[in-house]
Chains A and B, each alone.
Chain A
Amino acid sequence: DAKTTQPPSMDCAEGRAANLPCNHSTISGNEYVYWYRQIHSQGPQYIIHGLKNNETNEMASLIITEDRKSSTLILPHATLRDTAVYYCIVRPHSGNTPLVFGKGTRLSVIA
């Protein structure tokens, strides 16, 4: 079973920041937080991952609370192309471990 809890849906105005929360209160010390998204009819796409420090890449920022029990994915300037289902996944930072998907958050970016 998935170890994360996410709101089922969110809306965001185009050009604004989208903040997607995730609860993972049972996360273990060796587990990382990964975010993926699935745009309609496509395979999931990796976004970002982190252990305890905040992370940023060209796609998004990841903010992890100090107790690591929750995190927030931030899309700084959402566009219509960011409309997708976003999955927060907790998994060990080791090779050949399959992803366990929860229900994710369906983000709708509105013009």
Chain B
Amino acid sequence: SAVISQKPSRDICQRGTSLTIQCQVDSQVTMMFWYRQQPGQSLTLIATANQGSEATYESGFVIDKFPISRPNLTFSTLTVSNMSPEDSSIYLCSVEEGTGFRSFFGQGTRLTVV
């Protein structure tokens, strides 16, 4: 099973600033997925990151707000830009592995914007 290291685990940020979240996987994967989980809610897909191409964003999410990098097959970053309190959420990265197409998740980044 894939092991995913996500950093930071939590942060408290001032509004108007940006935070970059890192996701490192212990194996090479084609796609990495970024999710947001707002307080008390389920997970919502932000974007899909494929190495060597621009990320594909879901409706309601834009590159200017959530720029994503995918420099190689084991690493990705998600930046939350120009933050507001509404961005306070848990952000998770995920990869898929194995013949059963199982998904594995990082432990998440708990972001609080004040």
CB of B101 within 8 A of CB of A101, answer: no
The SS class assigned to the B binding surface is strand
By a CB distance below 8 angstroms, the chain B residues around A101 are 35, 42-44
By a CB distance below 8 angstroms, the chain A residues around B43 are 44, 99, 101
B72-114 interface (Cβ within 8 A of A): 92, 94, 96, 100-108, 110
B42-65 interface (Cβ within 8 A of A): 42-45, 48
By a CB distance below 8 angstroms, the chain A residues around B102 are 34, 46, 49
By a CB distance below 8 angstroms, the chain A residues around B4 are 43
Docked Cα-Cα span, A86 to B68, in Å, equals: 29
CB of A95 within 8 A of CB of B42, answer: no
Once A and B bind, how many residue pairs between them come within 8 Å at the CB atom? 55
By a CB distance below 8 angstroms, the chain A residues around B101 are 91, 93-95, 97
The SS class assigned to the A binding surface is loop
Given the known inter-chain contacts A87-B42, A102-B42, please indicate yes or no for A96 contacting B96, CB distance below 8 A: yes
Q: Which of A44, A49, A102, A104 contacts B100 (CB 8 A)?
A: A49
CB of B31 within 8 A of CB of A96, answer: yes
Given the known inter-chain contacts A41-B110, A95-B30, A98-B33, please indicate yes or no for A36 contacting B103, CB distance below 8 A: yes
Residue of B nearest to A42 (CB): B107
Docked Cα-Cα span, A2 to B6, in Å, equals: 26
Q: Which of B42, B92, B94, B105 contacts A104 (CB 8 A)?
A: B42
Given the known inter-chain contacts A87-B42, A103-B42, please indicate yes or no for A43 contacting B107, CB distance below 8 A: yes
**Residues of A at under 8 Å CB distance from B?**
34, 36, 41-46, 49, 87, 91, 93-104
Would you list 19 pairs from A and B whose C-beta atoms are within 8 A, ordered by A residue? A41-B108, A42-B108, A43-B4, A43-B107, A43-B108, A44-B43, A44-B103, A44-B105, A46-B104, A95-B96, A96-B31, A97-B96, A97-B101, A98-B31, A99-B43, A99-B103, A101-B35, A101-B44, A104-B42
**Residues of B at under 8 Å CB distance from A?**
4, 30-31, 33, 35, 42-45, 48, 92, 94, 96, 100-108, 110
